[in-house]
Amino acid sequence: MAKIKVIATISSEFGISSELLEELDVIDLQLAVDTNLFIDPLLLPLSKHEEMSVGAATAYEQRFEFIVKLLAASKVQGDVAWRKAEKLFNFSEVSWTCLGYSSSVRGAGFGPELSAATLKTASEIVNLGITDIDFFMGLSLLEEGIGPDRISDMTTNIIIKNLADFTVRVNSILNIPAKKFLVEGCEVSLPVNPYSQEPLVFVPRDIVRDLPIATDWSDIARVSRENEEYREKVSGGIGKIWSTMTKKKKSELKESALKSKEAFEQVLELLHEVPKKPYDFEADTNGESFWIRLLDVAHKYPVVGGLPASPSTIDEAKELVAKIINQFQELIENKGIWKELWTDDEKPRKEKAAQRLFFSIAYSYCKANNLDITPEADSGNGPVDFKFSKGFDVRIVVEIKLSTNTSLVRGYTSQLEIYKKAEDTVEGVYLIIDVGGIGNKYGDIQRLKREAIEQGAHTSAVYLVDGNRKESASKR
């Protein structure tokens, strides 16, 4: 979760209902920070929008078919054909779509060194006799430094005119004030992102995933477990490396894949087996959008007795943080907000979704009480989930874990303490949300806390929130 300082989306900033955006199949993007979704080129031909299924899919296909022909014609690196291919393989950072993992709305892009290394690998693949342009998606498997942001930026560079066409059509309905920008040499009237002063380009919901297919190792492993035929394919040489990729370096797969045409074709075959499904915004397992709908929950359920005034001491800040956490607990356990921790198929959303749910509730209270809240504050030892602060002396870090987390106990005994040191504070909160499978873990944490207190240590506060599914009142 990036460092969200301001919560602003297309719907909230321009006064548009989220239902209308959903009807138009437009992502309700965050405008001040990236939304963690990525354009997947393999989804373009399947889009319901002609700008994508025809325009964007054709642009993507033609670009890489031309690059393949140029690489095949090149006799030596640096000749005319190579330089033309290099020019076509120049992908800058893209911020207009507000997608990615950045803490702002800046894209990742390809630098000169990464472009050169990737093009060299592409040339080796072409020399094997591979002409299927989907191998460019597979480059993320082979090259260090190529991940979701860069695959998405690569695709966005190629289809930006088509995204602009989609935006113009949709905005003829939304009527957001627009101004003219140059897009591939043509003037196009696009809305302006007030937080970057750059063009705002709408993105259809049906062309994005939480990760592009080629880097979604968990999805590949899941498919291989569920599909016997696919599992047999994964059992072979490259497949073994692929299925255990979390423990392998990309260089090992690259070396195996580039041994022969047949070897690389297995990579392509595995790539094509993964279901081409866009991110499910209804289930919203990762919590990319549901939490934004809950930003007014604090106004619907004000804290009984109110909140302490703007804190000036650490004790006052601790009181305010405790009040916010207690209110969060009240909303989850007694006001039905527990439902937001679960998908429609009765599975708990990911831990990040729980963190964002807490943020959406805490944000309103902090704004009203002049207390800074920084999601994923990072001081060099990995990101703590939240840091509440006012100035330098008033700092409290909060770590949120689901009960299903296998590192639940270790998170309290070591991870939180490291974060406290990194943020120059002795004050920490460990917030556990029980969605099942907690077993003895909570008891172990309480025991360790007691032992630490007996030894004179300053311990972090521990909260347990019951987020389990509940029957309706009539059944209880």
Q: What is the mean pLDDT of residues 259-268?
A: 86
Decide: residue 34, CB within 10 A, 0-12 exposed, 13-18 middle, 19+ buried.
buried
Pick the CATH number of 290-466 from 3.30.70, 3.30.1360, 3.40.91, 3.40.50: 3.40.91
| CB contact at 8 A, 400 and 355 | yes
The CA-to-CA distance between both ends of the chain, in Å, stands at: 36
Tell me the per-residue pLDDT of 183-236, one tens digit each, with 9 for 90 and over: 999 999 999 999 999 999 999 999 998 865 444 444 444 444 444 444 454 445
Tokens of 194: 């007030």
Percent of the chain whose pLDDT exceeds 90: 39
Tell me the per-residue pLDDT of 112-126, one tens digit each, with 9 for 90 and over: 788 888 899 999 999
Domain boundaries, the chain: 10-211, 290-466
Tell me the per-residue pLDDT of 49-66, one tens digit each, with 9 for 90 and over: 999 999 999 999 999 999
Structure letter (DSSP) for residue 472 = -
| CB contact at 8 A, 134 and 268 | yes
| CB contact at 8 A, 398 and 461 | no
Whether pLDDT at 4 is above 90? no
Residue 434, amino acid: D
pLDDT at 290: 77
pLDDT at 333: 95
pTM of the model: 0.77
Model confidence band, residue 253 (pLDDT cutoffs 50, 70, 90): confident
| CB contact at 8 A, 52 and 36 | no
State whether residue 66 is helix, strand or coil: helix
Tell me how far apart the alpha carbons of residues 245 and 258 are, in angstroms, rounded to a whole number.
17
pLDDT at 384: 60
* Residue closest to 286 by CA, chosen among 347, 331, 228, 361: 347
Tell me how far apart the alpha carbons of residues 105 and 215 are, in angstroms, rounded to a whole number.
22
Whether pLDDT at 431 is above 90? yes
CA 262 from centre of chain: 34
Q: What is the mean pLDDT of residues 7-25?
A: 91
